[in-house]
Amino acid sequence: MLRHLGLAPRKGLGQNFLVDRNIVAKILEAAALSAADTVLEIGPGLGVLTWELAQAVRSVMAVELDTGLVGWLGQLFAGQPNVHLVHGDALSVDLADLLAAHPPAPGGSAKVLANLPYYITTPLLMRLLEEELPISLAVVMVQKEVARRLLARPGTKDYGALSVAVQLRAQPEIVATVPPGVFFPPPEVESAVVRLALRPLPQDAGDAAFLAAVVRAAFAQRRKTLRNALQSGTGPWDKAAVPAALAEAGIDGGRRGETLSVAEFVRLSAVLQRFRRPPEISNNP
Ligand code: SAM
């Protein structure tokens, strides 16, 4: 098909096209689609998944960056009014607007499906989670090593800021591990289909941006104790209050940040928010 279109896979755009129907079926099955749902697809490529989605749901919003592929997709879906193609970068397209323009029918929900271009996996997942988009579920193909990070437990080497960000707002599950041969061209690594059932941030977490800053600080210097990490970073809290905040949250400051559970991060952040540092005033007019 690519040859016929005069195109070649572009490594820089993470183009590894699915060529195995079983995997397409697994992704669709994990999404438990209903006819009332809408789906945001990131990187439709040649449209293998998009085609199936168009038959199964109310509307599909498909965001593709590659001009050549957008041309082809325009032809393929010319007769399908429920497919809305967006030519753009999924990291900068206004996803909230797009989802609002194509809402699900009563009883349905908005979902994200994607065989992700691997170079945007982390920023895209962070967007989906932190922008609090009205999405109930995401089923994404990611590198296996990233899948491990999404599911990692405290104290393991894979546990990091991404694990906490995801587990705060979603229940992640590996649906399938996928060998390179199901793609053309085959990538150098194994992949995995991950299902993320989204849920709102716990209410006691308070300010989400503040919590994200606490998590970032805790993982910024993995070899430091939590107390030192929180006192040496640029987080928006009073550094002198860190020992008292840790004591109040019932967390030993001598531990390393990477040993804290998601619930402990929420508790610590809630206490530290009471010791918020006033914003710095710039001397520049
Ligand atoms: N969905 C197709 C499939 O499964 O065969 C293609 C998947 S391929 C791994 C990733 C797709 O994302 C490519 O079509 C690529 O051009 C597109 N892409 C890459 N970067 C993108 C970006 N920043 N925004 C939107 N699409 C992007």
Please write the tens of the pLDDT for every residue from 5-24: 999 999 999 999 999 999 99
Ligand 1, atom 5: closest residue by C-alpha: 17
**Distance from the alpha carbon of residue 13 to the mean position of ligand 1, in angstroms:** 7
Q: Give the model's pLDDT for residue 203.
A: 87
**Distance from the alpha carbon of residue 61 to the mean position of ligand 1, in angstroms:** 14
Q: Give the model's pLDDT for residue 279.
A: 64
Q: Give the model's pLDDT for residue 274.
A: 94
Rounded to 10°, the helix 262-272/208-220 angle is 110
pLDDT in tens, 184-240: 999 999 999 999 999 999 888 989 999 999 999 999 988 899 999 999 978 899 999
User: Phi and psi at residue 203, in whole multiples of 5°?
Assistant: -60, -40
User: Which of 166, 176, 116, 105 shows the shortest CA–CA distance to 142?
Assistant: 116
Best of 72, 115, 193 for a ligand 1 pocket test (most atoms within 8 Å of beta carbon): 115
pLDDT in tens, 47-60: 999 999 999 999 99
Is the CB of 236 inside a 6 Å radius of any atom of ligand 1? no
**Distance from the alpha carbon of residue 66 to the mean position of ligand 1, in angstroms:** 8
Q: Is the pLDDT of residue 278 over 90?
A: no
Q: Give the model's pLDDT for residue 280.
A: 63
pLDDT in tens, 111-144: 999 999 999 999 999 999 999 899 999 999 999 9
Q: Give the model's pLDDT for residue 265.
A: 97
Strand intervals (E) in 103-156: 110-115, 137-143
Is the CB of 53 inside a 6 Å radius of any atom of ligand 1? no
**Distance from the alpha carbon of residue 236 to the mean position of ligand 1, in angstroms:** 37
Q: Is the pLDDT of residue 97 over 90?
A: yes
Best of 1, 15, 16, 95 for a ligand 1 pocket test (most atoms within 8 Å of beta carbon): 15
Ligand 1, atom 23: closest residue by C-alpha: 89
Is the CB of 104 inside a 6 Å radius of any atom of ligand 1? no
User: Phi and psi at residue 264, in whole multiples of 5°?
Assistant: -70, -35
pLDDT in tens, 148-193: 999 999 999 999 999 999 999 999 999 999 999 999 999 999 999 9
Fold of 2-200: Rossmann fold (3.40.50)
- The tokens for 202 are 């716990």
| pTM of the entire predicted model | 0.94
Please state, in angstroms and rounded to a whole number, the distance separating the CA atoms of residues 198 and 136: 5
Fold of 204-275: Helicase, Ruva Protein; domain 3 (1.10.8)
Ligand 1, atom 8: closest residue by C-alpha: 15
Q: Is the pLDDT of residue 284 over 80?
A: no
Query: What are the residue ranges spanned by the domains of the chain?
Result: 2-200, 204-275
Is the CB of 89 inside a 6 Å radius of any atom of ligand 1? yes
Residue 68 sits at the vertex; the CA angle it makes with 66 and 7, to the nearest 5 degrees, is 110
